[in-house]
Amino acid sequence: MKIITEHMTVETKGDPDLIDLTERIREVLKRSGLRQGSLTVFVTGSTAAVTTFEYEPGLIKDVRALYEKLVPRKTGYAHDASWGDANGFSHLRAMIQGPSLVIPFENGKLTLGTWQQVVLAEFDNRPRRRDIVVQMAGTGNEKQVGG
């Protein structure tokens, strides 16, 4: 089994920015030459998240509305008093969504559904440059040796 790690940089506009990463992740997998295994997509940082949903304008609106309902964008969270950066809501949204997604792949292809995109959710209250880690663990076409 091989483990291959790649990084990609994504510029975001700040909350609520939802960016489709699916094609870039497909390219990374293709480059790796791996055929079977699983891949983790992870965003470094505590005010962004990685998730999956159907990436279309209606649902993008719905997802934004859901985050606003769950964790309203306002100041007054205790974190805002600690640092004065007014992004308590960003940390809370990122925490409930989570920073990573695991996707199995077979025959060199992600096992995603047609309407299942991989989405970076930027929650910070300002534009950020995000480091996305894609780590693949799997096998290529080489013969398996040993037991």
Residues that bind Zn ion in the complex, under the rule CB under 5 A:
85, 87
Would you say 12 or 87 has its CB closer to Zn ion? 87
Distances (CA, A) of 60 to 1, 20, 75, 117, 135: 37, 11, 24, 12, 27
Give me the least distance between CB of 138 and Zn ion, in Å please.
36
Min dist CB 78 to Zn ion, Å, is: 11
Q: To the nearest whole angstrom, how small is the minimum distance from the Cβ of residue 51 to Zn ion?
A: 20
Enumerate the H helices of 7-142 as residue ranges: 22-32, 57-70, 78-83, 88-97
Closer residue to Zn ion in complex, CB, 68/85: 85
CB of 87 to Zn ion, least distance (A): 4
d(CA 53, CA 50): 10
| CB nearer Zn ion, residue 6 or residue 85 | 85
The residue type of 17 is: D
Please measure the distance between the N-terminal and C-terminal CA atoms of the chain and give it in whole angstroms: 12
| Choice between 87 and 117, CB closer to Zn ion | 87
Shortest distance, CB of residue 122 to Zn ion, whole angstroms?
A: 14
49 or 134: whose CB is closer to Zn ion? 49
Q: For residue 68, what are its two tokens?
A: 């606003």
CA–CA dist 77, 47 (Å, integer): 14
